[in-house]
Amino acid sequence: MAKEENTHYTNLEPHDRPVPVVAIGGSAGGQKAISELLEHLPPSTGLAFVYIQHLSPTHDSRLPEILSKLTPMPVAEAEPLMHVKPDHLYIIPPNRDMEIVDGVLVLMPRKPRPHIHLPIDQFFISLSERQKDGAIGIVLSGMASDGTLGLQAIKVAGGITFAQDETAEYPSMPESAIREGVVDMVLSPKEIASELNRLSKHTDIFQLTQETEDSKQEDEPDKDLDKILMFLKTTVGMDFGHYKKSTIRRRIIRRMLLFKLEKLSQYVEYIKLHPGEAATLYDDLLINVTSFFRDEQTMVYVRKQVIPSVLKNKAPGEAIRFWVAGCSTGQEAYSLAMLLTEILGDRVTSTPIQIFATDLSETAIAKARLGVYTKSEMKDVSDQRLARFFTKIDDHYRINKSLRDLCVFAQHNLLSDPPFSRIDLVSCRNLLIYLDDILQKKALATFHYALTPDGVLLLGKSESVGTASSHFTQTDKDFKVFARKNRTLARIPGNIGSPDEINYTDARRSVKNEEVLSAAQLDKLVDNWLLSNFVPPSIIVDQDMEILQFRGSTSLFLEPAPGKASLNLSKMARPGLVLELRNAIHKARKTSQPAGKSGLEIVVADETRYVSIKAIPLTNPDNQQLFLILFEETKDHPVQAGISTEDADKRVLMLEAELAALRQDMHSIIEEQEASNEELQSANEEILSSNEELQSINEELETSKEEIESANEELQTINQELQIRNDQLTESYNYSEAILSTINEATLVVDEQLRIKVANRAFYKVFQTNEANTESSTIYELGNRQLDFEEFRNIMHGLVHGGSSISGYEVKIMVRPEEERVMRIHARRVLLSRRQTILLVFEDITEHRKAQKLAQERQEFQETLNERLNQRVEERTADLKTAYARLELVNAELGRTAESLQAVLDSSPASIGFFKTVYDEHSVPVDFVLIVCNRKFAHVFGKDVSALTEKTASQLYPVERVDIMLKVAISQVGHYEEIFSEQEKKWVGVSITRHDHGIAITELDINTLKHARLEQDELMHRLNDSYELIESLSALKEYVHHRGSILRSAFHDLRSSFGIISGAASLLNLMETEDDRRKNLEMIQRNLRVVAAMMNQLLDFARLETGEEELEISSFNVSETLRNLIESLKSAISAKRLSFDYDGPAELPIESDAPKIARLAQNLITNALKYTETGHIKVEWTDAELMGDRPQWRLVISDTGSGIPGWLVDRVIENDGNDNLRETSVEDPPLKMDDSVGLFIVKQLVRILGGKLQVETSSSGTRFDILLPKNHQ
């Protein structure tokens, strides 16, 4: 019996644990709710608070600053690897996802779209899975369903869950969690704060996951816990006796916390007084946690290995049968169906597929059959699968019918109901972890029976076959996939929980070792030793004489019988003992007293032994009749061969007594036999009667079978009708979707809370929004809250509360800044899926209203204009009469002016003609009519002016000239060209320009001007030749000066070196020691090497200057050439003690001149070594981009020396050798021979090799970048 104090949960260790964490999630309206919660929350609860809000990824959050004003607790924005502390509030930063691992906050970048962003679910789930202590989850105001899955995970882990009540400004998030049944308490923020304060005083109770290893709650019985389980068995019909006690205890303590109970005994009384609590506890114990493609790596393995191996063993047309045990809400079954569909492809319609999915929870099975899931539940489904297997309905997703037809969902108890058979794959993931060893063994035996010989078992990551290794073998060490063993007999396991089995299991449980043995343990130890050393030979048999146990050595009295193995006592006992053993057991059963016999003879190995036996009846708690049989070997028989006459008489008397006892036993056996015969006769009659009853029952069953078949046919008919109705509903839905998408007016479907369920494309276009920002939000939250104005709220409020429809209600809406649209609103309430829905249409009449306003304004203007015209007509009539008289005078004057204008035109040296433009019906110029021209213009055509007037351009000019005139008329850009006349041998300049309503053409003789221009061009050409000659002379002068400077420098360096050599040579004879002579010789040799190097440079300079160098093209690996060169210079590099790096591909084949490339690289590397005192030198070569269609490679040599003077780079490198050298400045310092010659050689080698050279130099170093062709053509 459990002690009274065991009902207190004192087996937990609150010290050295992570801080209990309260995770709070919110979205729209969440800031107001969290503010209210913090205002009523004490600052010293000992809990850590983490607030996860939906934040914009592109804006900084000011939440820490705002919330810090509402609570004395420290408020901080979460940072990577920040340890949570009690009485602190942590806030998720923008554009980050966050998880918690053992009390440490882990930040990670927010995943980009199209990934569904669910930060609340992500943090809640990490808290439930990886935080090693109790957790509390709270969902506040917000839109959509983020937080629902997270609360479910926290509840399953044993934590407490809260949701905001109707005070939520945006109730979508809390309502989603409440609908899923994952919320323990629905309260206002103020009440949640009060409840948190209460829970903070019981952290040692709600921290459930860290139970001590020596906790005795698992090993010792708990009477109160047993009472609760018995009450559950009585009320809901489910026996949880063999479920893991820790899991059951965790769930019960969760319920106790909600009702403020401290002891299990108090909860026992509560559950008796509130029968509905038993059903709630039952639902709590059934852990419905699952997701699509749970454990991604395992599902990939199933898709690539497991399912193909199953299909491989299937004949064409043979059914594929899967069983998902403990399917919860069906995601795993549908995941397997998707994998099968993807693998089978087009064969899926011709292959029979049955996926049986079972679970204890009726509500979970109902949801699985419906196949409708929220956005948050779809987070692990790819976009491709989402489009292929799901249909979007409002803000949910529904499994397509073709996939639902593959799955059969049923409420089923794996441990008591008959299993399925001929199954190819059994998936039972994360169910066995909640069962003890007995139930696990039975479940695995059930799976073994259900599977085909080639069947596969899939378990969860924390599960194994354990003691059922004879049934299954693991196929992959990285995944919990097991193959069925066919050597073990497949049978349905019987009832479990027999006392023997339970005692056997209890006996195998490990007990914690004590340092000092208790008195009971000492007694047990002594008893075991005495029994093993002094126990008489004995056996335990049942009422059928089957031997159950052997004790001591029984080989003298028992031996195996030949033939089939048997443990029956009648077959194993020695021949002389069988009858007496049967009689002794019979007497012991009849009298319930021990019965025995002594002096029995047996022959063992040709030796007579004497034995006494004794049968002792035993009883056990199940009233099973057992017998303890004791054997004892006695001394020699009391009557031996040499006994006396008196002893012989005693022997006779004893034998007579035994004979009388035998007769009495025989008489008793005969009476019992007769009684047994009578009982058998009576039993036979009863059997005959029962047989007749069974025949009658069989006939009734046959009748019932026919009725069931008839009912089944009716059900099939009804099912077909339902299927037809379902297809019709699907067609209607698609039809309505098509209608909605083709309506040109902006159309919305909203629910009773005015949350948008569906919108068409026209709506998104008019209001400049998208689906993600529209669905599930209220109509007032759209965009920049364009519809959130009092007039619109009033009409929608009237419609929701009683109004049936709205027609033609006109409002003005700002659809975007500085753009107001006039909308006519039509709305009607309709019943959709038994829920009130509002269909809302926005008819854009902005253009219509503008047109009306414009027409009205025009009408008003026309009326005003008519009035004014009537007044003016009278006034103008008089004026016109006066003007007519004046017009006659003006016409006469115009005639005289026209004659004067014609005279002016005729006096012009150019021919002039003015054409009026002719337009077609589309106001497009098509031709021109000559209106005015001068005599020179008429002379060109050989006609009089009057004869040309009214002629069209197409009649006077060729098509090309007319096209030019049309182009000028359209583009309004003038045209000028000079034409040489072969007949008249002269040049004519033609100008075509556009005027108000026509084209003017002017032609002028420019022959004299043309000849003058040609003479001018000739003179300019001669002048340019003179300039080029002057520049060439200047360049030659500069080159001679430059060459002289180089030679002077070389002569000076050579003279200095020879002077040193001469002086050193003259001192050789004066040296007294060999060491001094050796040093002097080394100096001479060093200067000779310098002289040799300068002479080689001068020779190279001379050859390059005279153009004697020729290319010797061959194919070679330039990488190898450069590496060999660098190897040869290693001694010089080591002497300088500089950092030297080189990098390039191992193979770089080219066609070029290998010696010249080596000379080029050697020149640059040796110069770098010479002028770099500290730092590093780096050589790089690689492929380069194409130049045209020619491949190239790049050589880069850089150092950290003092750099090359910029004027030297300008003079030698930037200018082109002999042609464009700039003039030498008097300010330029004198050239050094090594510098100038080396640079000149490098430049000329690059030019000869057809490459390009770039030099970057400064006081911190020099970089030579050379681009060379990979082949020479």
Kindly list the catalytic residues.
Answer: 27, 54, 146
Whether the Cβ atoms of residue 748 and residue 763 lie closer than 8 Å to each other: yes
What's the sign of the alpha-carbon dihedral 1208, 1211, 1215, 1219?
negative
> CA 347, CA 481: separation in Å to the nearest integer?
26
- Listing DSSP states for 794-822 in one string gives HHHHHHHTT--EEEEEEEEEEEETTEEEE
Q: Which of 209, 191, 196 is nearest to 86 (CA)?
A: 196
Cis peptide before 42 (omega within 30 of 0): no
Backbone angles phi, psi at 278, to 5 degrees: -65, -45
> CA 187, CA 193: separation in Å to the nearest integer?
9
Strand partners, 483: 456, 473
Whether the Cβ atoms of residue 1229 and residue 1223 lie closer than 8 Å to each other: no
> CA 958, CA 1069: separation in Å to the nearest integer?
107
Q: What distances in angstroms separate CA 291 from CA 66, 373, 381, one per listed residue?
A: 37, 10, 10
Q: Two tokens at 504?
A: 């056997």
**21 Ramachandran zone, left/alpha/beta (phi>0; psi -120 to 50):** beta
Q: How many CB atoms lie within 10 A of CB 928?
A: 25
Q: Which of 374, 392, 393 is nearest to 176 (CA)?
A: 374
Q: Which of 1098, 1043, 1038 is nearest to 1219 (CA)?
A: 1038
Half-sphere exposure of 315 (CA within 13 A, CB side): 1
Which residues, at least 6 apart from 536, have a Cβ–Cβ distance to it below 8 Å? Answer: 552, 630, 631, 632
Whether the Cβ atoms of residue 367 and residue 346 lie closer than 8 Å to each other: no
Backbone angles phi, psi at 605, to 5 degrees: 55, 50
> CA 91, CA 23: separation in Å to the nearest integer?
10
> CA 770, CA 782: separation in Å to the nearest integer?
10
Q: Give the SS3 label for residue 26.
A: strand
Strand partners, 163: 139, 186
Which residues, at least 6 apart from 245, have a Cβ–Cβ distance to it below 8 Å? Answer: 217, 218, 222, 225
Name the DSSP class of 1260. T
Whether the Cβ atoms of residue 1180 and residue 1196 lie closer than 8 Å to each other: yes
> CA 136, CA 1270: separation in Å to the nearest integer?
70
> CA 866, CA 949: separation in Å to the nearest integer?
42
Which residues, at least 6 apart from 1151, have a Cβ–Cβ distance to it below 8 Å? Answer: 1113, 1114, 1115, 1270, 1271, 1272
Q: Please, where are the H alpha helices in 59-167?
A: 63-67, 119-130, 148-156
For 879, counting Cβ atoms within 10 Å of its Cβ (0-12 exposed, 13-18 middle, 19+ buried), the class is exposed
Whether the Cβ atoms of residue 1221 and residue 1228 lie closer than 8 Å to each other: no
> CA 914, CA 936: separation in Å to the nearest integer?
13
Whether the Cβ atoms of residue 71 and residue 41 lie closer than 8 Å to each other: yes
Q: Two tokens at 186?
A: 């629905």
